[in-house]
Amino acid sequence: MTTERRSSAATDVDLDDAELDRQLDRTWAGRTSFWGAIAAVDHKVIARRYIVTAFVFLILGGMLALAMRIQLAQPEARFINADRYNQIFTMHGSNMMFLFAVPVMEAMAVYLVPLMVGTRNIAFPRLNAFSYWVFLAGGILLWISFALDTAPDVGWFAYVPLSGPEYGSGKRADVWAQMITFTELSALAVAVEIVVTVLKQRAPGMSLDRIPLLVWSMLVMAFVVIMAMPAIMFESSTLIMDRLVGTQFYNPAEGGDVLLWQHLFWFFGHPEVYIIFLPAVGMVSTILPTFVQRPIFGYLPVVMALIATGVLAFGLWVHHMFVIGLPRLAESFFTASSMAIAIPAGVQIFCWLATLWAGRPIFKTPLLFVIGFIITFVIGGLTGVMVASVPFDAQVHDTYFVVAHFHYVLIGGAVFPLIAGIYYWFPKMTGRMMSERLGQWSFWLIFVGFNLTFFPMHILGLQGMPRRIYTYQPEMPWGGLNLFISLSAVILFSGFLVFFIDVARSWSAGRPAGQNPWNASTLEWAMNSPPPPYNFRRIPVVDARDPLWCGSDELPVASGLRTDRRELLISSVVEALPEARESSPRDSVWPFWAAIATSIMLIWSIFSPWAIVWGSIPIAITLIGWFWPKGIAEDES
């Protein structure tokens, strides 16, 4: 059956490049209308939406941070009242974790992984589109609730009983819990796509030991998502059930337990940090070699360290609960395991330093951010070692010391590499370079502003200032440092402002970038910038870890894929030997409708348990529409 079809179908074998580009473009490009945009499934389009949306949430979250800094600049300020402040810090945390950090890292994966492994689209592109719409709905839900003064006010950790049925009146905690469901649903969907893309869609010859380090980090991140996110989804659902239908999970009087919440939350919450951090170190391991023009030192140890981090991530959740009165044995175990995570982190840092030492650094903006990352992340890592000690933590837990620590880890350790990554891949995504001058400005402003803002918080914490307080009394000796921090925050914000101005300007007026402006080694630089909808004219064949640094001017490729349907190559898991030609789904509006149906069901279920029953019907209908074969070329086999 397939033999006749194949002979009649159009393949790329005897076409010249221009004709091939034309035919591929016709097959892969999306429609330009409004509904065409809604129906898009191109991983680059989706990822760009994800990134832009996540950065919008970053700006909004940053505004909240600024508002909190204004409030805290002086004792007993009345700029924001207690109720609003509690909403704001909850929003800031939830927004930054669930609507910015995780989505933006996954979005970078969605953009880069298919390009780096040499395929034409991510696995399950419609699921990808669905995940974006669901994520957007979750974000809008949270921010509308904030506008309506019904935003969650229980902290991004939402400890029961404060968030539980008795003390969390109204729907505020439910909004938080359901926002979690939205974002985790999208995160899980993306994780599935990344795993399958990395395992099955690599270019021929890209065996496991030739995968770019960014892809390795994204693969480990995806597995951490898969293992960790079910915990928080289970938890947010049980919270809503406790609040809506009266289950007793967190009611000590009926056999429940409030600490169950904390165990479940941190079983997810600690890996969450690595979900954000692993992609960031992957970016560092990718950017650094380019700017020293030398392959990374110690590829294998770095991969091992990534995997070890992913595994260890699940063994140290209890260090967030060191003051709940645990048995000593458990405390000692979790101290040791929390300390142990420093070893894989150390391995990576030493490998980066060795790479820097052995190469010749080119001080462009991305490298500056990477160096800033190393400086600040080492501080964050060392303070992490400090809080891993139970007795040390007894004094600094839930103080500004911890606030300083995790901002060093999350901003220094993840946002710096992310900005480095934006500077680095912006030319690929838009075809235009960002400004080097503004880049340097933004680096120095962000770096200096960041350290001036967050370093003094360590001292405040040791001086006894607890977290999550909307104000403090004039007799406390915290006023001066708080004012200093608030003023420094302005420097930090101006740095981000310069960055965003640079992005906006460069997007429309930047210098054209060309294929490989940085002379980098990975596959995403082998095509035009921005990449065409089909990514690769012909799928590359890989025979080295750094395919573009082989000294040859020619890229070995595979030919024989069809051009009349969306087709890509499936390869084996370990050796990446070609196994099959697989079709990739066409654009479809069904994921959008499915996301709408899912959103309706999820939001409705805050108010009535019957939403699960009746709301599932539209979801089932949209899913059937999504998967029902349309008798098109992609359906052939």
Partner 1 sequence: MKTAAISLPLLLLLSGCGGVQSALDAHGQTAILLKSLIIFVVATCFVVWIIVMLVLIWSLMRRRDGQAADDRSLHRRITIAVSGAVAATALIISGLTIASFYTTRGLDPARDPDMTIRVRAQQWWWQFIYEDADPAQSFHTANEIHIPVGKAVRVRLESSDVIHSFWVPSLAGKQDLIPGRENVLTLRAERPGVYRGQCAEFCGLQHSHMALFVIAEDEESYRQWASAQRKEGLQPREPEIVAGKALFMARQCAACHTIRGTEASGTTGPDLTHIGSRHTIAAGLLENTRGSLAAWIADPQTLKPGNNMPIVPLSADELRQISAYMDSLK
Partner 2 sequence: MKEQPVLDVSKLPLHGMGIASPAWWGTCTFMLIEGSAFGLAIAVYFYLMSLAPHWPPDVPPPDLFAGTCLTVLLLASVVPNVLVSRWAQQRKLGKVRIGLVVMSLCGIAPLALRIFEFPAQHVNWDESAYGSIVWTILGLHTVHIITDLIDTLVLACLMFTRHGDNTRRYGDVEDNALYWNFVVIAWLPLYACIYWVPRL
Partner 3 sequence: MSSTVSGPTFSGPIFSRKAFRLLAIAGLFVVALAVAATVGLLRQPRQYRVDPPVSAALEGLRLMPNGIAGSPPEVYFALGQPYEETAYDLNQGKRLYSWFGCASCHGDGEGGAGPSFLDGWWLYGPSMVSIAASIRDGRPHGMPAFRHKMTIDEIWQLAGYVKAIGAYSAKLTAPSRSDDRQTRPAENRAPAAILFDQGSAPVRRPKQGPSP
Q: How far is the CB of 190 from partner 2 (least distance, A)?
A: 11
Q: Does 514 bind partner 3 (CB under 8 A)?
A: yes
Residue 444: name its binding partner from partner 1, partner 3, partner 2, none (Cβ under 5 to 8 Å by kind): none
Which string of DSSP letters, residue by residue, matches 418-463? HHHHHHHHHHHHHSBPPPHHHHHHHHHHHHHHHHHHHHHHHHHHHT
Binding partner 3 (rule: CB under 8 A), the pick from 10, 11, 21, 560 is 21
Binding partner 2 (rule: CB under 8 A), the pick from 46, 96, 199, 302 is 199
Q: How far is the CB of 485 from partner 1 (least distance, A)?
A: 12
Residue 556: name its binding partner from partner 2, partner 1, partner 3, none (Cβ under 5 to 8 Å by kind): partner 2
Q: Does 364 bind partner 3 (CB under 8 A)?
A: no
Which string of DSSP letters, residue by residue, matches 15-34? --HHHHHHHHHHHHPPP-SH
Binding partner 1 (rule: CB under 8 A), the pick from 77, 244, 340, 596 is 340
Q: Please list, residue by residue across 286-325, b when 16 or more beta carbons sit within 10 angstroms of its beta carbon and e when fewer do.
A: bbbbbbbebbbbbbebbbebbbbbbebbbbbbbbbbbeee
- Three-state SS for 39-94 is HCCCHHHHHHHHHHHHHHHHHHHHHHHHHHHHHHCCCCCCCCCHHHHHHHHHHHHH
Site string for partner 2, 504-523 (x = CB under 8 A): -----------x--------
Q: Give which of 417, 87, 398, 383 is closest to 285, Cα–Cα.
A: 417
H or E stretch at 579 = strand 578-583
Residue 490: name its binding partner from partner 2, partner 1, partner 3, none (Cβ under 5 to 8 Å by kind): none
Map the footprint of partner 2 across residues 8-37, applying CB under 8 A: 11, 13, 17
Residue 141: name its binding partner from partner 2, partner 3, partner 1, none (Cβ under 5 to 8 Å by kind): none
Tell me the window of 33-41, 104-112, 237-245, 397-405 that interacts with partner 1 (CB under 8 A): 397-405
Map the footprint of partner 3 across residues 77-116, applying CB under 8 A: 83
Binding partner 1 (rule: CB under 8 A), the pick from 196, 307, 311, 452 is 452
Map the footprint of partner 1 across residues 460-479, applying CB under 8 A: 462-464, 466-473, 475-477
Neighbours of 504 (CB within 10 A): 10
Residue 526: name its binding partner from partner 2, partner 3, partner 1, none (Cβ under 5 to 8 Å by kind): partner 2
Site string for partner 1, 480-509 (x = CB under 8 A): ------------------------------
Tell me the window of 6-14, 151-159, 190-198, 562-570 that interacts with partner 1 (CB under 8 A): 151-159
Q: In which residue are the tokens 């005897």 written?
A: 14
Distance (Å) of CA 179 to CA 144, 186, 189, 602: 11, 11, 16, 9
Residues binding partner 2: what is the number (CB under 8 A)? 74
Cis peptide preceding 530, ω within 30 of 0: yes
Distance of CA 238 to the CA centre of its chain: 25
Tell me the C-alpha distance between 149 and 166, whole Å. Answer: 20
H or E stretch at 270 = helix 258-292
Tell me the C-alpha distance between 120 and 565, whole Å. Answer: 12
Tell me the C-alpha distance between 261 and 263, whole Å. Answer: 6
H or E stretch at 583 = strand 578-583
| Nearer to partner 1 (CB atom), residue 131 or residue 521 | 521
| Nearer to partner 3 (CB atom), residue 474 or residue 514 | 514
Binding partner 3 (rule: CB under 8 A), the pick from 12, 15, 20, 28 is 28
CA angle 385, 157, 59 (to 5 degrees): 90
Binding partner 2 (rule: CB under 8 A), the pick from 520, 569, 597, 601 is 569
Contacts of 566 (CB under 8 A, 6+ apart): 27, 28, 120, 121, 534, 583, 584, 585, 586, 634
Q: How far is the CB of 51 from partner 3 (least distance, A)?
A: 12
Contacts of 524 (CB under 8 A, 6+ apart): 112, 115, 116, 425, 428, 531
Residue 392: name its binding partner from partner 1, partner 3, partner 2, none (Cβ under 5 to 8 Å by kind): partner 1
Binding partner 2 (rule: CB under 8 A), the pick from 120, 126, 202, 537 is 537
Binding partner 2 (rule: CB under 8 A), the pick from 147, 245, 300, 509 is 245
Q: Does 38 bind partner 3 (CB under 8 A)?
A: yes
How many residues are given for the chain? 637
Binding partner 3 (rule: CB under 8 A), the pick from 89, 132, 157, 250 is 250
Binding partner 3 (rule: CB under 8 A), the pick from 52, 358, 574, 624 is 52
Map the footprint of partner 2 across residues 97-156, applying CB under 8 A: 123-124
Q: Are 249 and 241 in contact (CB under 8 A)?
A: yes
Beta bridge partners of 571: 578
Tell me the C-alpha distance between 483 and 542, whole Å. Answer: 55
Q: Name the DSSP letter for residue 343.
A: H
Number of C-alpha atoms within 13 angstroms, CB side, residue 473?
3
Residue 452: name its binding partner from partner 1, partner 3, partner 2, none (Cβ under 5 to 8 Å by kind): partner 1
Applying CB under 8 A, the residues found at the interface with partner 3 are: 18, 21, 25, 28-30, 32-34, 36-38, 40, 42, 44-45, 48-49, 52, 83, 140, 143-144, 147-149, 161, 164-166, 169-171, 242-246, 248, 250-254, 431, 512-517, 519, 528-533, 548-549, 551, 553, 607
